[in-house]
Amino acid sequence: MQYDYEELLKRARSQIPEVASKRERLELPRVNSTVIGVRTIIYNFKEIADTLNRKPQHILKFLTREMATAATMRDSMAVFKGKFSHETFERLLQRYMASFVICPVCKRPDTKIVKEKRLSFLVCEACGAKSSVQQL
């Protein structure tokens, strides 16, 4: 059995998922927030959730626990009780990405959260790794 290197290379590349062959980085949109009275509003919250490929309620739950405050969703906005700077939100979103978006094996953002029974797993669509994530 003789194999041609070029033929084997083409065959291997055809089996790689398209997601793994992309080379762009995940760029989080800048947090567009305003403090009005004792409330902070993030106007582009839905856009941030779509960029991270996560449910807005999951991100909102993470942020409310980290900041120890209450928050609600209105249309594509999130309203938090308290005065917070956009740097605070950006720092917390980076922490969220490290815990719930970035694959710990290949460091790619092409993941999804899958719930099996009572456990949640981060499944990477690029390398196929499956790792557990904390419950919110």
Predicted local confidence at residue 16, as pLDDT: 76
pLDDT tens per residue across span 17-74? 665 444 456 778 888 889 999 999 999 999 988 888 889 999 999 999 999 999 999 8
Q: Residue 1: what pLDDT?
A: 64
Whole-model pTM? 0.75
Report the candidate in 136, 133, 111, 134 with the shortest Cα–Cα distance to residue 124.
111
What tokens does 6 get?
């070029």
Length of the chain: 136
Q: Mean pLDDT, the chain, as a whole number?
A: 85
Region 119-128: mean pLDDT is 86
Distance CA 113, CA 123 (A): 6
DSSP-derived secondary structure letter, 125? T
Contact 121, 102 (CB under 8 A): no
Domains with residue ranges and CATH for the chain: 30-101 (3.30.70.3150), 104-136 (no CATH)
Q: How many whole angstroms separate alpha carbon 101 and alpha carbon 90?
A: 15
